């Protein structure tokens, strides 16, 4: 998919765009089903990187303290609760630049993955940069998906991060693909980027081989103390257009309406779900930021006659 094609789709009259996205969704997915995914921060804060949106960077005074890596038992307990609450995917996030085979912390992550993978949910991790060796070990331990976002266009990325390059992100994604782990890759809207940056980001995603299994669309949560703390909220119709466009060009991807739902009305979320989003993060907290409460989300799904994706048979 090239940029001109994406621009054409994005610029379709709003309701025509929604109709096309809805038709694409219905041709590929079960109507009325939303995947619930629970996030857990297994290692919070103190990160060496300078991502301008992130409360976990050690460069900014955000009030997030650096914590130790959780133990496999602690993580397993949280994963069990997530499953009981209806999640079919469990995503463990660590505030690191990356991981190296042989490090004690990487061994500890492998141990938690082995434990969580027995529960019959999709097991996702987001640990920053890695190579093929690490990816292969994660796969052997039971990881089904790796989250590594490109966040925005290649051109805008240096405005947001200086401690690693866009190409480093793509290298990690390639290593994950080589190890036959599903890629979860998306980005953030509301960081001061243009419409063109957003579409270039989608263009990069459509050219992945294989295409990403999951595409998180995050709205910036403006975290106090970060350089982006005063960014205004994204225009909701721009967000919906982006979700609809993503659904049309990546019909088989799960499109996750990710961070930032606390700043979206329930009507806006309903339109995002109509436009093709079919997954949300479920639970009172994201990694460090607030998420709508579980009760609130249950009410929303019930009001829209949507149901949580049922647990997998045969342990998957």
Rounded CA separation 79/262 (Å): 23
Q: Out of 76, 143, 176, 188, which residue is the one contacting ligand SAM (CB under 6 A)?
A: 188
The CA angle 24-30-31, to the nearest 5 degrees, is 80
Q: Has 124 been annotated as catalytic?
A: yes
* Binding of ligand DTB by 93 (CB under 6 A): yes
Quick count: other Cβ atoms within 10 Å of Cβ 1? 15
Sequence-distant (6+) residues with CB within 8 A of 81 are: none
* Binding of ligand SAM by 125 (CB under 6 A): no
Using DSSP, state whether 267 is helix, strand or coil. Answer: helix
The CA angle 288-173-291, to the nearest 5 degrees, is 20
Binding to ligand SAM in span 6-45, by CB under 6 A: none
Binding to ligand SAM in span 237-296, by CB under 6 A: 259, 287, 289
Nearer to ligand SAM, 128 or 283 (CB): 128
* Binding of ligand SF4 by 212 (CB under 6 A): no
Place of tokens 């994706």: 309
Nearer to ligand SF4, 56 or 258 (CB): 56
Minimum Å gap between C-beta 288 and ligand SAM is: 8
Contact 315, 116 (CB under 8 A): no
DSSP state of 40: E
Nearer to ligand SF4, 34 or 40 (CB): 40
* Binding of ligand SF4 by 95 (CB under 6 A): yes
Q: Out of 17, 36, 42, 47, which residue is the one contacting ligand SF4 (CB under 6 A)?
A: 47
Minimum Å gap between C-beta 152 and ligand DTB is: 12
Q: Can you spell out the DSSP letters for 64-114?
A: PPP-PPPPHHHHHHHHHHHHHTT-SEEEEEE-SSB--TT-HHHHHHHHHHH
Q: Has 54 been annotated as catalytic?
A: yes
* Binding of ligand SF4 by 40 (CB under 6 A): no
Binding to ligand DTB in span 125-154, by CB under 6 A: 126, 147, 149
Minimum Å gap between C-beta 149 and ligand DTB is: 5
Rounded CA separation 133/135 (Å): 5
Rounded CA separation 255/18 (Å): 15
With CB under 5 to 8 Å by kind, the binding choice for 57 among ligand SF4, ligand DTB, ligand SAM, none is: ligand SF4
Nearer to ligand SAM, 18 or 110 (CB): 110
Interface with ligand SF4 (CB under 6 A), residue total: 8
* Overall residue count recorded for the chain in this entry: 316
Q: Has 219 been annotated as catalytic?
A: no
Q: Has 184 been annotated as catalytic?
A: yes
User: Which residues share a beta bridge with 189?
Assistant: 219
Residues designated as active site: 47, 51, 54, 91, 124, 184, 256
């Amino acid at each position: 998919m090239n940029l001109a094609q994406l621009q054409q789709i994005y610029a379709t009259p709003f309701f025509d765009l929604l109709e096309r996205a809805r038709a694409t969704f219905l041709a590929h997915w079960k109507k009325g089903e939303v995947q619930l995914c629970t996030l857990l921060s297994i290692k919070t804060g103190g990160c060496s990187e300078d991502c301008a949106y992130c409360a976990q960077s050690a460069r900014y005074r955000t009030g997030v303290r650096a914590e130790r890596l959780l133990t496999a038992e602690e993580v397993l307990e949280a994963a069990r609760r997530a499953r009981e609450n209806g999640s079919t995917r469990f995503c463990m996030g660590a505030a690191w630049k990356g991981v190296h085979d042989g490090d004690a912390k990487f061994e500890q992550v492998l141990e938690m993955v082995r434990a969580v993978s027995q529960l019959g949910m999709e097991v996702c991790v987001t640990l920053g940069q890695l190579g093929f060796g690490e990816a292969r070990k994660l796969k052997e331990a039971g990881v089904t998906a790796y989250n590594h976002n490109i966040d925005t266009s290649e051109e805008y990325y240096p405005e947001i991060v200086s401690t690693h390059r866009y190409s480093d992100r793509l290298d990690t994604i390639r290593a994950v693909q080589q190890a036959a782990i599903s890629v979860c890759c998306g980005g953030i809207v509301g960081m001061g980027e243009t419409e063109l940056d957003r579409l270039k980001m989608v263009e990069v995603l459509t050219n992945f081989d294989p295409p990403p299994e999951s595409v998180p669309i995050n709205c910036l949560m403006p975290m106090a103390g970060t350089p982006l703390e005063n960014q205004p909220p994204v225009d909701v119709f721009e967000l919906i257009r982006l979700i609809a466009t993503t659904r049309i060009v990546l019909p088989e991807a799960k499109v996750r309406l990710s961070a930032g739902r606390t700043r979206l009305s329930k009507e806006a979320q309903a339109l995002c779900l109509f436009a093709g989003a079919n997954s949300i993060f479920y639970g009172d907290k994201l990694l460090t930021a607030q998420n709508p409460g579980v009760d609130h989300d249950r009410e929303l799904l019930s009001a829209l006659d949507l149901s949580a994706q049922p647990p997998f048979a045969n342990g998957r």
